[in-house]
Amino acid sequence: MWIDLHVHSTASDGTDRPERLVQSAQALGLDVIALTDHDSFAGLAEAGEAAVAVGLEFLPGLELSAHWGPAGPDSHPVHILGYGCRVDDPGLTAELERVRRGRQERWPRLLAQLAGLGLPLDPAEVTAQAAAADAIGRPHLADAMVARGYVADRDQAFARYLRDGGPLQDERHTPSAAEAVDLIRAAGGCAVMAHPFARGAEAWIGLDWLTELAQRGLFGLEVDHVDHSPDQRRRLRRWADRLGLAVTGSSDYHGRGKSGHPLGVERTDPAVYAVLRQRLAEQKGRL
């Protein structure tokens, strides 16, 4: 089986509509796909209907923005994938609304900072790039910068201006990683840490902290990811084995020309996927 458990659509910062994304996965020969848009369930219904139409197994999900460390400028961003959550869970939906509201409220600050760097943008330029997205993200700002000719592509926009710890101060509300795991589990889902060592996070993510998350019910680590080196993958596998966590692999696909992560480029082992499905069934049985 060819299983990709981390892809994005136009409901967040991808370029493919959910229906088109599912059709592309089926055309490539994938057997299972999970839609995991940032802080949103908005594309799940469309993707689920498209999956039924083409005979592709579909797992609903999301990628929840979170942080490690004390809330504020000294915290580190992390992302927790949630699979099989109830989309009407009151606790999770309320938190998603808070996160999306935080995204929207930061744009005047970010645009003012860019203008101060000699890179003015009109808010309409950013919203035009976001199109049907449920919430505007930094990738949409990067796309507006590309359209203006300030940078060549998204990668350059992040490397120069939008990266974590870069020249722009990007404070907004997110739950702690522990809170994110709790919210996902309370909604009947399974939580997996997305790309743990990507974007320099290896410098501050440690075994002790992952042990705490494992004790709270973290299901797994997304080890096989384009942004992880072979050495990083080996280290994360050792930690997963030590903590009894599952190991997943996913493309983190965002669309053509957006991330350099082709659809299906990394895979999850079918045996791991079977355990994930079983755990979801057990979760729902306890609720």
**pLDDT tens-digit profile of 250-265?**
999 998 755 668 999 9
Is 3.30.1320.10 the CATH classification of the domain at 108-162?
no
How does strand 190-193 pair with strand 76-83?
Answer: antiparallel
Q: Do domains 3-101+174-286 and 108-162 have the same CATH topology?
A: no
Averaged pLDDT, 163-170: 77
The residues, ordered by sequence, that sit 6+ positions from 265 with a Cβ below 8 Å of its Cβ are 226, 251, 253
Q: What is the DSSP letter of 153?
A: S
Whether 248 contacts 221, CB under 8 Å = yes
With residues binned 3-state (H G I as helix, E B as strand, rest as coil), the percentages for the chain, rounded to 5, are: 45, 15, 40
Please tell me the distance from the alpha carbon of residue 128 to that of residue 141, in angstroms, as a whole number: 10
128 with 68: CB under 8 angstroms? no
CATH of segment(s) 3-101+174-286: 3.20.20.140
* pLDDT band, residue 271 (cuts 50/70/90): very high
- By the 10 Å C-beta count (0-12 exposed, 13-18 middle, 19+ buried), 217 is classed as middle
What's the pLDDT band for 187 if we cut at 50, 70, 90? very high
Length of the chain: 287
Burial of 187 (0-12, 13-18, 19+ CB in 10 A): buried
Selection from 173, 182, 11 nearest residue 92 by Cα: 182
Give the CB-side neighbour count of residue 140, counting CA atoms within 13 A. Answer: 28
Pairwise CA distance, residues 187 & 282, whole Å: 13
d(CA 261, CA 7): 10
Whether the per-residue pLDDT at 6 is higher than 90: the answer is: yes
| 186: confidence class by pLDDT, cuts 50, 70, 90 | very high
In 32-173, which ranges are continuous DSSP H helix? 44-54, 90-105, 107-116, 123-130, 138-148, 154-157
The structural domains of the chain, with segments of one domain joined by +, span: 3-101+174-286, 108-162
Task: Kindly indicate the confidence band of residue 127, based on its pLDDT and cuts at 50, 70 and 90.
Answer: confident
The CA radius of gyration of the chain, in Å to the nearest whole number, is 18
Q: Is the separation of the CB atoms in 32 and 56 below 8 Å?
A: yes
Tens digits of residue pLDDT in 14-52? 889 999 999 999 999 999 999 999 999 999 999 999 999
Residues near 285 by beta carbon (within 8 Å), at least 6 away in sequence: none
Examine the pLDDT at 5 and tell me if it is beyond 90: yes
| Residues 191, 185 contacting (CB under 8 angstroms) | yes
* Cβ neighbour number for residue 231 with a 10 Å cutoff: 10
The pLDDT-based confidence of 155 (bands split at 50, 70, 90) is confident
Is pLDDT above 80 for 137? no
Q: Provide the pLDDT for residue 79.
A: 96
What are 61's strand-pairing partners? 83
